[in-house]
Amino acid sequence: MPELPDVERFKTYLDATALHQRIDDVHVENARILDGVSASRLRDVLKGHSLEKSWRHGKYLFVRLDGVEKDEGNTGSDTGSNKDHDRPVLAFHFGMTGSLSYFKDLSDAPEHDRLRLDFDNGYHLSFDNQRMLGRVRLIADPEKFIADQKLGPDALAPDLDRKTFESRLAGRRGRLKSVLMNQKLVSGIGNITADEILFQARLHPETPIDSLSEESRKALWREMRNVLKTYVERGAGSGDYSDLPRSYLLHAREEGASCPRCNGKIRKFTTAGRSGYFCPACQPAPE
């Protein structure tokens, strides 16, 4: 499930619920979802601290910790350890399934609770991750993390402009859909939003990226921003995307469904092991 719009919703949710509360305890229900940090170290680092600020980059949700209590024996000398960049950051990635869940009663814990924080107000925050393809990390430097992962700029970053976008796609030879989903070029687009962007831009998913006309490249840029913004706005809150415009492909993700725009038949196809949908009439094959 979690693509850019979903992770944006998780950020809103976390901001509205779990910030600024002291973490009393940490439960790692399944250590498989941890990467680069042990359960005991994660607990040691989190305990007594609070979540202070979150932000999203592509499909990652970062959460900076703050020190509610100073470490023992580190009280006197102020060597700059209080600066933002010295505080560790939690990095959530949800994989194909998952979400965050904030609740009071443990009986309301999600079924696939993999990591749970207990706050001093009696509430809990759980990392819900059925298929365990998601990962939680503890990182020192988010900028470095993004650089190390070679992640491209966030697809909705305000300072990402069309020129930069196009320059990042330049020189690629792959098919349109797999290029859009390559997080190293632009971060945040997944299977659903890739299909939607291509549908709205009226581009065939298997168009070689290097064959796009100037006009098509403009449409691609425009619809990438439009579609992602629209998904974020309409999905905000519930994560129910049924309120998307009628002209959106999301309502017709089924072989043989009628195209929301031309009433032709929607077709199912497979690229890179992922199944997708498109309208052969609205999105004619290249050549």
Partner DNA sequence: CCTATAGCCTGACGGC
Partner DNA sequence: TGCCGTCAGGCTATAG
Binding site for DNA (CB under 7 A): 1-3, 5-6, 32, 58-59, 93, 95-96, 112, 130-133, 149, 171-175, 178-179, 181-183, 190-192, 231, 235, 239, 241, 271-275
| Shorter beta-carbon distance to DNA: residue 23 or 153 | 153
| Shorter beta-carbon distance to DNA: residue 47 or 271 | 271
Q: Which residues pair with 113 in a beta bridge?
A: 128
Shortest reach from residue 97's CB to DNA, in Å: 7
| Shorter beta-carbon distance to DNA: residue 118 or 196 | 196
Q: Which residues pair with 265 in a beta bridge?
A: 258
Which amino acid type is present at position 98? G
Shortest reach from residue 281's CB to DNA, in Å: 22
Shortest reach from residue 221's CB to DNA, in Å: 18
Strands 113-119 vs 99-103: parallel, antiparallel or unpaired: unpaired
Shortest reach from residue 191's CB to DNA, in Å: 3
Give the CA distances from residue 72 to residues 22, 75, 76, in Å, rounded to whole numbers and listed in that order: 17, 7, 10
CB neighbour list of residue 187: distance below 8 Å, 6 or more residues apart: 4, 57, 58, 59, 60, 151, 152, 153, 154, 155
Q: With residue 164 as reference, give the H or E element that holds it.
A: helix 162-169
| Shorter beta-carbon distance to DNA: residue 46 or 189 | 189
State the virtual CA torsion across 186, 251, 256, 219 in degrees, nearest 10.
Answer: -40
Shortest reach from residue 209's CB to DNA, in Å: 7
Q: Can you tell me which residue has the tokens 């719009």?
A: 5
Shortest reach from residue 267's CB to DNA, in Å: 13
Instruction: Count CB neighbours of 129 within 10 A.
Output: 29
Instruction: Count CB neighbours of 218 within 10 A.
Output: 14
CB neighbour list of residue 223: distance below 8 Å, 6 or more residues apart: 197, 198, 200, 201
| Shorter beta-carbon distance to DNA: residue 74 or 247 | 247
| Shorter beta-carbon distance to DNA: residue 46 or 100 | 100
